């Protein structure tokens, strides 16, 4: 383990709940990467926990937005109050379908979410849209950052679009999104859409926080199966071949058949459910309604056979362990004894004078003392 990892970890996890930074303003209110601009002043919560809770339960959009900001803050005082708020609203959470949506940039995820979202609102649903984009601190919100991409939806008071929390490692971004989902549910949002880009580890993370996972693809690249990792297909509960309009209808149908064949050889992502491939156009809206029907059948089937509830329970347990691991790691690398011994042990390991296992034991012994 080199220092780079440690530095990176510290940088990316400035607000770990176990870090003693009480009284330090992490600063948030929509200022990306503000955790690095630490100012030494007391953080005094602006609203009482009860005010946040009442606001959320009354679906007061302003208070809901503020509560999300509280969750996203890296200041310890904010994190502590956020946990109190969460504890109070927890009994009112859970009543939703959580849908994850992944696909390469340009596949049409935003357009799809807008077209589906508007339809759902017309049906009387309340729709919350979130994103998990750990790169957004660098790219300043590459997804959902530009709200004009969901113009109709962002104007509608029955929808709430929240861009990805910025300035953090995937673990931190995922925690914030998971907790934000609970707030939305307590406020009465019954369809939660979580978008993520189809690169790297973020699909696996989003899969672990949603009930239904949709992979959005486009046809016509000629290498239908090559651009997409097999692992991502295995996570999907449905595959949508988007942009099935105009000249693209035929290639989309071909792609559909090809993916259907490929799926024959894979385990379904959800027990008892057959992952299907569908075509749609997010611009003409052809096929969008049908895809919603698929999601609804999935929900009734998995609720009936108990898979839905079992997965959510399992997800909570996994999340607990992930948080413990993350925080233990932070504590370990912040430990004074470790920090002072690490360079020498690293050198010994690199020079071949200390066996790696012994080096690790040495560090862990110091940590336990
Ligand atoms: P994202 O990066 O996956 O969110 O993709 P966007 O939703 O931003 O879409 C990328 C581009 O594809 C935009 O220019 C959209 O207008 C276009 N697009 C999205 N869905 C469709 C579709 O169903 N048909 C066609 N023809 N274009 C689409």
Neighbours of 306 (CB within 10 A): 11
Query: How distant, in Å, are the alpha carbons of 123, 157, 186, 243, 247 from that of 118?
Result: 9, 11, 21, 18, 26
DSSP letter for 25, please: B
Q: Of the residues 103, 110, 111, which should be mutated to test ligand 1's pocket, given the most ligand atoms within 8 Å of the CB? A: 111
| CA 253 / ligand 1 centre spacing (Å) | 18
Measured between alpha carbons, how far is 212 from 228 in angstroms, rounded to an integer? 19
Atom of ligand 1 nearest to the CA of 248: 26
Nearest to 282 by CA among 238, 245, 253: 245
Q: Can you list the positions of beta strands (E) in 280-335?
A: none
Q: Is the pTM of this model over 0.75?
A: yes
Going from the Cα of 116 to the center of ligand 1, the distance in angstroms, rounded, reads 13
Pocket of ligand 1 from Cβ distances under 6 Å: 103, 105-111, 149, 242-243, 245, 281-283
Q: Which of 100, 102, 108 to mutate to test the pocket of ligand 1 (most atoms within 8 A of CB)?
A: 108
Query: How would you write the pLDDT of the chain (369 residues) with one tens digit per residue?
Result: 344 433 433 444 444 333 322 222 333 333 333 334 444 455 555 899 999 999 999 999 999 999 999 999 988 899 999 999 999 999 999 999 999 999 888 889 999 999 999 999 999 999 999 988 876 544 444 455 454 568 888 889 899 999 888 766 787 888 999 999 999 999 999 999 999 976 668 889 999 999 999 999 998 754 555 556 678 889 999 999 999 999 999 999 999 998 999 888 888 999 999 999 999 999 999 999 999 999 999 999 999 999 999 999 999 999 999 889 988 998 999 999 999 999 999 999 999 999 999 999 999 999 998
- 264 CA to centre of ligand 1 in angstroms: 29
């Amino acid at each position: 383990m080199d220092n780079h990892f440690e530095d990176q970890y510290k940088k990316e996890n400035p607000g770990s709940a176990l870090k003693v930074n009480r009284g330090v303003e992490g600063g948030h209110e929509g200022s990306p990467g503000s955790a690095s601009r630490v100012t030494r002043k007391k953080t005094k919560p602006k609203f009482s926990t009860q005010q946040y809770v009442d606001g959320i339960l009354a679906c007061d959009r302003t208070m809901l937005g503020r509560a999300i900001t509280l969750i996203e803050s890296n200041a310890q005082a904010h994190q502590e109050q956020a946990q109190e708020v969460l504890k109070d609203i927890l009994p009112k959470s859970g009543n939703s379908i959580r849908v994850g949506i992944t696909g390469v940039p340009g596949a049409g995820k935003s357009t799809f979410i807008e077209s589906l979202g508007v339809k759902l609102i017309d049906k009387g649903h309340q729709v919350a849209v979130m994103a998990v984009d750990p790169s957004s601190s660098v790219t300043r919100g590459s997804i959902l950052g530009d709200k004009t991409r969901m113009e109709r939806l962002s104007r509608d008071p029955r929808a709430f679009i929240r861009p990805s929390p910025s300035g953090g490692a995937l673990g931190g971004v995922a925690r914030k999104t998971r907790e934000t989902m609970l707030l939305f549910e307590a406020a009465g949002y019954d369809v939660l859409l979580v978008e993520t880009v189809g690169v790297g580890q973020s699909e696996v993370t989003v899969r672990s926080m949603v009930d239904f996972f949709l992979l959005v693809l486009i046809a016509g690249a000629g290498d239908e199966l090559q651009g997409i990792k097999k692992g991502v297909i295995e996570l999907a509960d449905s595959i949508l071949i988007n942009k099935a309009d105009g000249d693209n209808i035929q290639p989309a149908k071909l792609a559909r058949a090809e993916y259907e064949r490929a799926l024959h050889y894979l385990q379904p992502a959800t027990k008892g459910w057959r992952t299907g491939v569908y075509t749609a156009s997010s611009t003409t809206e052809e096929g969008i309604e049908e895809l919603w029907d698929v999601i609804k059948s999935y929900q009734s089937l998995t609720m009936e056979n108990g898979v839905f509830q079992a997965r959510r329970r399992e997800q909570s347990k996994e999340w607990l362990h992930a948080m413990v691991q993350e925080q233990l790691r932070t504590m370990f690398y912040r430990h004074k004894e470790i920090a002072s011994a690490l360079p020498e042990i690293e050198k010994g390991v690199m020079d071949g004078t200390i066996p790696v296992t012994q080096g690790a034991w040495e560090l862990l012994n110091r940590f336990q003392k």
